[in-house]
Structure 1
Amino acid sequence: MKKKVAVIGAGFSGLSAAAYLGRAGYDVHVFEKHGQPGGRARQFSTPEGFKFDMGPSWYWMPDIIESFFSDFGYNSADFFDLVSLNPQFEMIFSSGKISVPESYEELKRLFESIEAGAGAQLEKFMHAAKFKYEVGMRDFVNKPCHSWLEFISPKIARSAFKLDLLSSFRSYVAKYFTDERLRTLMEFPVIFLGASPKDIPALYSLMNYGGYVLGTHYPKGGFYQLVLAMQQVAEAQGVTFHFNHNVDAINIENKKIRSLRINGENQEFDLVVASADYHHIEMQLPEKFRNYDTAYWKGRTFAPSSLIYYLGLKSSIANLTHHTLFFEHPLDDHIDCIYADKKWPENPLFYACCPSKSDRDVAPVGQENLFLLMPLATGVSDDEETREEYLIHMLERLEKQTGAKNLYQQILYKRSYCVSDFVQDYNAYGGNAYGLANTLKQTAVLKPKIRNKSVQNLFYTGQLTVPGPGVPPSIISGKIVAKEAIELYHKLLDHEETI
């Protein structure tokens, strides 16, 4: 009889784990509290004709995502049309803007035009970043991270110095570039990792390569097309999805999960993979079965939460690209509000995504789909009045940059999403949006473990464990956990046969 597996949560890590476990021959059931897959990457449509991706919008590291499909004999092109954006994005400064071109050769020329010698420096930077990308994303991040011994291999040992694990990202960038705009442009990608550039290892310059060199892409129909594609791959492996199914309790006997109470009914399983919030799952367990106590979680550095607005506008906005970053104020001032002061920022930085510039299916003709995101400290109060104040502030800055008039009056549809919504919808610790920050003290073996130390058949996957936050890492996390679970059962079967 097939081993019966429950995957809690249908985010990217859950979809990935389910697909790999299904391919291995397990009877896999995915339980998702919402009515659709995707987790933070859900999508919704409005009566006005707008279609909004709720979360991820940067399609970077396409080769890592492509490797998921190739593992199952597919290409992403079998499911959606992936287009390369040109420009990749624009970054707005108080002194003007930088438009990042699709072509890497053009990017080098752009850097040179801003700072003499910066084109050659960018080439050196990306040469090193490519090495980190190839080692980091193919060797380093694919470890289950039970022990540092996993990293003792000739290849990783030879690469250790070049990986720059002990250097801060900020000081590393400063070795290459003097112009503050170029430094900010290079530092920006690690914000996705949930910490200040001064606290992120220089290893993560690999993100610059995975973005700026490999390009910024967009799946026609929205980022949600990736979710739907992964669901189809999983279903082709025999995986069954159960939507609007909430896991109410985890029932443990003899240090094993015997059953889950789902929508009030107990169902038995041989193995459970938790793709839901790690802390939330731990709190459902008796204290003696938890990997970590409350003090542990309070001592972690979490990635930011976000204030998000989904806006449908009655007319298009000229002079706005698909991705635009508004960085007219100092980066560190905003970062300090997130990590040190834990308050709403006085001079916020924010991000605007306008997918209707690349895809007319996400908004009615002549209208605009606008997604605004402002990084925010976890745990802050987020009443509607405060949210609205920041919406008006962001729209005023957008008007100043684009020349648009009266954007607030152009709104046909409006929905906000903030700290309390992340808690309500995803049981996210502190309302975080991106998981644990990838600081040096929270990297690799120092992240929460993927296997429960006391409950034999419980595993964890997703952005709070290895390898970390982001779509490609979450997909990798699911693969790592599936491999570990399969190996566990092979060991148990071998043990039973020798008794």
Structure 2
Amino acid sequence: MAKKVSVIGAGVAGLASAVRLQTAGYDVTIYEKNEMAGGKMYQIEQDGFTFDLGPSIVMMPDLYKEVFEQAGRNPDDYIPMQRLDPMYSAFFGDEQIDVSSDLVKLVEHLEGISEEDVVGFLSYLRDIYERFVIAKNHFIQRPFRKFTDFYNPFMLRQAWKLKTFDSANHTIGKYVKDKRLQQILSFQTLYIGISPNNGPSIYTIIPMIEYMYGIWFIKGGMYTMARSMERLFLELGGRIEYGAEVDEIVIEGKKATGIKLNGEKILSDYVMCNADFPYAMKNLVLDKKAKGKYTDKKIDSMDYSCSCFIMYLGMDRKYDAVENIHNIVFSQDLDENMEEIFSGKLLDNPSFYVYIASKLDEELAPKGKDGLYILAPVSDLSTAEYEWNEETIAHYRHQILNKLKTIKGFETVEDDIISESYMTPEDFKAQFNAYNGATFGLRPTLAQSNQSRPQAKSTTVEQLYFTGSSTHPGAGVPIVLTSAKIATEELMLDDGKKG
């Protein structure tokens, strides 16, 4: 008889874990507090417009496809993709730079800025790719079960080669001197919720991945990935209970034996927790001994990623003069912007990102109209020196729209709005149990990465596993998909099915 697994949460990692385990022959049930699959890879429908709620940029598409391939399915039947070129437009005041992953186009553009920076950029790609290979093979794709998995001569040599002790910003500055290029090569650390000013230099691999592997778009938007994982899981015979907020992980004799739902105990052989790790340790693991080092006090003292303020705007027109679906609008001083976010300040001149998915998929908006998704990184709730209320929302709305009106193609943006809604850090906390409203979970500082990050296998409780952005290897959809792979392999290893 197949062993039972309870999966808490139908977020990206929960769905991917469930698919992998169901494929491997387990009897898997997902318990999800909301009414739709996907977690933050959710969807908003308003007034005929459809928006991705959170993630929007597809990187490392092979990791997306792997979820379907390991189940013996053709990913093209589930997540049809197309590559974007240019990847995105970057705006600096009146200047627009279209960023391509086509090396010929890119070098041609960079030569117009500085031949010296072309040399620096190519050196960056070579050096960072070498570090990426080390990180991929020895850190990102493996768990750290015990102290000696990391602290041994071989692994410490690999860690030294990563040169993680510099900041992402400072590292980029060694390769290119043009300030605009520095910002184009460093802002991506915000994909995982950390500032390039103090984020470990290893995260300069993120822009390198864009240039080496491209950026892609999934038809229907990012939510197609979540919906397709849900579809595959159900096809494989899995079960999902929606509107099912888990009260507790049941722990008996240092073993997870199931969950409590509405006060009722539901037994299973294993528990896979995709709830945000800090939330889970505080609210679902109630046995104090089972918390181990992750006491309530420890959870509160940890560093959290930034959060996001997102506007979902339905527009009364098409934005044909805007060339790309991904657009980054930089403030005059990104460094100062980052300092303010991570010190809790209310931003007066935020950098932000504009995503227009309906440019590539017209079914996402009414005929002749576009939907604008606008995201500004902001402080998490524990850091912010201000409250999220109508006044704060109005402040950010005003700042963003006033700036956007100065960008070619968006001049009439405020007058074009016919539908609007927002997502704030308070909403991330309430809807997705994101601790402190931190969109990307625990901040991936050196002290909270690799062996020092919460691992897939519980260190104090048998038959309990964790997955998601606050666990190793970290945040960002491709990395979260990797966390699901690690967690399921850890479970199967303990069950004698692997290794």
What SS is found at the alignment partner of 2:406? helix
* Alignment partner, residue 327 of structure 2: 324
CA distance in 2, matches of 1:102, 1:28: 40
**Shift in Å, 1:409:** 3.1
CA distance in 2, matches of 1:416, 1:54: 10
- 1:497 corresponds in structure 2 to none
- State the one-letter code of the partner of 1:316: K
Whether contact under 8 Å (2:342, 2:379) holds in the other structure is yes
Residue range with higher mean Cα deviation, 464-473 or 433-442: 433-442
**Aligned 8 A contact 2:101 2:210 in 1:** no
Match of 2:457 among 444, 451, 460: 451
Cα contact 1:467–1:476 (8 A) shared by 2:
yes
Greater shift, 358-367 or 127-136, is seen at 127-136
Determine the structure 1 residue equivalent to 2:68: 69
In structure 2, C-alpha distance between the alignment counterparts of 1:135 and 1:465, rounded to whole Å? 20
Secondary structure at 2:279 match in 1: helix
Q: Does 1:243 align with 2:242?
A: yes
Q: 1:228 to 1:105 in 2, by over 3 A?
A: same
Paired with 1:107 and 1:433, the residues of 2 have a C-alpha distance of 32
- Contact 1:133-1:207 at 8 Å conserved across structures: no
* Distance in 2 of aligned mates of 1:167 and 1:296: 26
Deviations for 1:214-252, whole angstroms, at most 9, x for unmatched residues? 111110111111112222333344321111211123333
Give, in angstroms, the shift of residue 314 of structure 1.
Answer: 1.0
Given the superposition, is the C-alpha separation of residues 254 and 154 from structure 1 closer, same or farther in structure 2, using an over 3 Å criterion?
closer
Q: Quick check: 1:133 aligned with 2:149?
A: no
Give the counterpart of 1:395 among 369, 383, 401. Answer: 401
* Match of residue 5 from structure 2: 5
- The aligned counterpart of 2:98 is 99
Residue 318 of structure 1, CA deviation: 4.1
Q: Could you tell me which amino acid in structure 2 is paired with residue 261 of structure 1?
A: K
> Is residue 480 of structure 2 the alignment partner of residue 474 of structure 1?
yes
Relative to structure 1, the CA distance from residue 150 to residue 71 in structure 2 (aligned partners, 3 Å threshold; closer, same or farther) is farther
Distance 1:411 1:114, change over 3 A: same
Match status 1:163 vs 2:157: no
Bigger mean CA deviation after superposition, 443-452 or 131-140? 131-140
Deviations along 1:410-460, one digit per CA (max 9) or x if unpaired, are 222111110110111111111111112222121100112323333222111
Among candidates 464, 468, 474, match of residue 470 of structure 2: 464
Mapping 1:298-377, distance limit 5 Å: 298-320=300-322, 321-340=324-343, 342-377=344-379
SS at match of 2:91: strand
For 2:6 and 2:162, the matched residues in 1 are separated by 37
CA contact (8 A) 2:456 2:465 kept: yes
Secondary structure of 2:175's counterpart equals coil
1:259–1:404 Cα change, 3 Å: closer
Distance in 2 between residues matched to 1:157 and 1:300, nearest whole Å: 24
Question: What residue is the counterpart of 1:287 in the other structure?
Answer: 288
Unaligned stretches of 5+ in structure 1? Answer: 494-499
Corresponding residue number in structure 2 for 1:111: 110
Q: Distance in 2 between matches of 1:400 and 1:214?
A: 32
Preserved contact between residue 274 and residue 458 of structure 1 (Cα < 8 Å): yes
Larger deviation: 74-83 or 170-179? 74-83
Mapped partners of 1:138, 1:71: distance in 2: 20
Which whole-Å CA distance do the structure 2 matches of 1:368 and 1:388 have between them?
22
Aligned mates of 2:339, 2:299 — CA distance in 1: 21
The SS at the match of 1:40 is coil
Q: Which residue of 2 aligns with 1:34?
A: 34
Query: Which residue in the other structure is 2:491 paired with?
Result: 485
Between stretches 161-170 and 34-43, larger displacement belongs to 161-170
SS in 2 for 1:261: strand
Q: Counterpart amino acid of 1:452?
A: S
Alpha-carbon distance in structure 2 between the residues aligned to 1:311 and 1:95: 23
Comparing 219-228 and 407-416, the one that deviates more? 407-416
Distance 1:455 1:41, change over 3 A: same
| CA displacement 1:385-418 (0-9 Å, x = unmatched) | 2112211221122121025444333222111110
Label 1:267 to 1:161 Cα distance change in 2 as closer, same or farther (>3 A).
Answer: closer
Residue in 1 that maps onto 2:22: 22
User: How much does 1:125 deviate?
Assistant: 1.3
Given residue 14 of structure 1, which amino acid in structure 2 is its aligned partner?
G
CA distance in 2, matches of 1:158, 1:427: 38
Mapped to 2, the partners of 1:331 and 1:404 lie a distance apart of: 21
CA distance in 1, matches of 2:127, 2:147: 24
Q: Deviations over 1:56-82 (max 9, x none)?
A: 001011223233333223342121321
Code of the aligned partner of 2:19: A
Secondary structure of residue in 1 paired with 2:185: helix
Normalised TM-score (structure 2): 0.93
Q: By how many angstroms is 1:37 displaced?
A: 0.6
